[in-house]
Homo-oligomer: A and B are copies of this chain.
């Protein structure tokens, strides 16, 4: 059997198995799988260098199914390469099966690197993988299969621009131009030249090909593999949704629909019946040495006032001895202070420009290849990447994020630059850790701790310099808090974090002058939060006042209430002081007072609360 016949047989098997799996499940996307069957048949049979028995080998080429709804195709590939059995294939979409509706890197699925299914994410993630390979001087490549509908997502073009700028010649995008989106024709339909011209305008090498002609596909892959060094390649493949079956091919109304058993039988017959071809992809050339070098570093310490964002940056710089540490910037590195890392490790500093989605997506890709990425921008602009952060949690990614310029305390720049919803956003990320240090020493310790944290962690930093609160020897366990003032006679507790800790201390001082003792807690760990200490404070003082430089919904106040409710019977009062009206410009202290979160305003609230 010659190559062409082999590839075509394999593609037919993928189409058949995609139909079988989705019909068995009663849902799924067989037609979106069928359009790309020839593309992946040629890829897995003869181009992707991949050790099936060692899927985490960093020398492997990587395949990212950006069009995650074509999961039946992915699982059909896994069957053909011997990763899963036919029986497992038919467990698709069942409760408890690792073959979920969209691919997810659960432990049983080591051949899946990242979760997809929110469109437009595969290319930014693939770019991160490609950049990790470049850092490791690996000859491996990243192949990303994207749909045509998802070309409408801006994140795709963020990745296109950045891939060109960063010279990611090891990144190959396969655009499965099947013309039909979920609800009808795509914007560009079969105008392959439009995609090709756009790719060229973004600095890519573009190739147009008939996506069902296996010889042409093979030639395109060879051209891509031999393309100019440093130039990413897009292959625009004209395909048909549901290709190979008369009543499905290029027909509207078949998106995301499983075939009935009768329809499936007919379709499978048209495709020549089931097959059981096993293939072995080409092996990677070598195993990239990943010998962990031992390293040590000193966490910076501070005696003078310093902005927590600056302490964050200096700690990254100190940690640069860790060869796996990579820092990504959204073109604000002189504000977030990631530039301090850039100065000492320019080769592991990735300027992603003002493209927050691509920044976070690339970070997900980097950690797949074993890197320890930190990504930073203004906390306000981290909202731009919420869908990527959400999906990173589905990807079981270990990701470290920093949002600077928290709250009204940024001052004159006004509300567009103020992070006022970032705590709510990050609390709502599955398995996240949310940190908000007040001073330089706590910021440095918490930044250092993030390097080893699993899951998505987030550190919120402040624009202004803040005074030293903690000695250099102080430790800040995740889930802990610091009780800064306390006495047996406390009549209320103020819970702050970050900049409001200082306002809380001012209020306590003011009230102490009037003979009212007040406890002050620094809740530097917003999630997980120190529920026991908070519950004790409510029990002992009867009034807890939570003060935050954030909208009143979803932030520290809600975290405190949730913690208190989780500790059993509620008894006492909890007041939330937070930003409730739209701020304008002004000095930080003016705005905090206006928002009711300044020391005097907190003291006033407590006075009223105790009256």
Contacts and interface: CB of A to CB of B under 8 A. Distances in A.
A436 interface: no
A576 interface: yes
A354 B394 contact: no
A524 interface: no
A477 to B, nearest CB: 20
A355 interface: yes
Given A116-B416, A201-B201, A421-B428, A183 B334 contact: yes
A150 B384 CA distance: 13
Interface in A60-97: 68, 93-97
Nearest to A584: B100
A117 B410 CA distance: 14
Contacts of A117: 413-414, 416-417
Interface string A399-443: 000000000000011111100110011011111000000000000
Interface stretch (A44-52, A234-242, A279-287, A554-562): A554-562
B153 A101 contact: no
Interface in A575-596: 575-576, 582, 584-587, 590-591, 594
Given A416-B391, A554-B558, A572-B569, A95 B161 contact: no
A19 interface: no
How many copies altogether?
A: 2
A120 B354 contact: yes
A516 interface: no
Given A102-B414, A557-B562, A153 B152 contact: no
A346 to B, nearest CB: 13
Contact of A118 (B333, B381, B425): B381
A335 to B, nearest CB: 7
Given A102-B417, A416-B394, A587-B95, A562 B573 contact: no
A261 interface: no
A181 interface: yes
A573 B568 contact: yes
Nearest to A527: B553
Contacts of A554: 424, 427-428, 553-554, 558
Contacts of A394: 415-416, 582
A558 B104 CA distance: 29
A572 B572 CA distance: 10
A565 B569 contact: no
Nearest to A338: B183
A399 to B, nearest CB: 15
Contacts of A152: 158, 161-162, 331, 352-355
A401 B573 CA distance: 35
A27 interface: yes
A115 interface: yes
Contacts of A100: 414-415, 584-585
B182 A332 contact: yes
A119 interface: yes
B584 A573 contact: no
B386 A425 contact: yes
A387 interface: yes
Query: Which of A27, A333, A561, A575 is most buried by chain B, counting CB atoms within 10 A of its CB?
Result: A561
B586 A149 contact: no
Nearest to A68: B416
A339 interface: yes
B153 A354 contact: yes
A551 interface: yes
A572 B570 contact: yes
Contacts of A451: none
A25 interface: yes
Contact of A331 (B183, B333, B425, B582): B183
Given A557-B562, A591-B95, A551 B585 contact: no
Nearest to A389: B383
Nearest to A412: B93
Interface string A366-395: 000000000000001101101100110110
Interface in A324-346: 331-335, 339
Which 7 residue pairs are nearest across A and B when measured between Cβ atoms?
A154-B154, A117-B416, A95-B586, A424-B428, A152-B353, A157-B157, A101-B414
